[in-house]
């Protein structure tokens, strides 16, 4: 369970950074300033939302994998063990 929590936290961090980086690139392109960084409150809110959306999507994928893939295999292994 701890491993799953760590992977979810890492996924959220990665997506948060990805969203901020893309907002940085958009701001740099709009202003022409290579040192511009999107660090307003709205940027952080958007990044958190993007990270949370990806975590929710990934959790659904993990749950499907668990119910459709891993649990049936474990039951099969237990039957013959």
Domain ranges of the chain: 2-80
What is the model's pLDDT at position 1?
Answer: 56
Q: How many residues does the chain have?
A: 81
CA dist 26 and 3 (Å) reads 35
pTM of the full predicted structure? Answer: 0.70
HSE-up (13 A, CA, CB side) for residue 65? 6
Residue ranges in the chain modelled with pLDDT below 70: 1-4
Tokens of 53: 């959306």
pLDDT of 77 reads 77
Distance CA 42, CA 3 (A): 31
* Token pair for 45: 């809110």
């Amino acid at each position: 369970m701890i491993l799953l929590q760590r992977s979810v936290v890492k996924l959220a961090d990665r997506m948060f950074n990805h969203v901020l980086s893309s907002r940085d690139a958009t701001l740099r392109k709009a202003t022409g300033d290579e040192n511009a960084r999107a660090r307003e409150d709205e940027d952080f809110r958007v990044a958190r939302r993007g990270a949370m959306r990806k975590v929710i999507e990934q959790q659904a994928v993990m749950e499907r994998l668990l119910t459709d893939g891993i649990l049936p295999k474990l039951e099969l292994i237990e039957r013959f063990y």
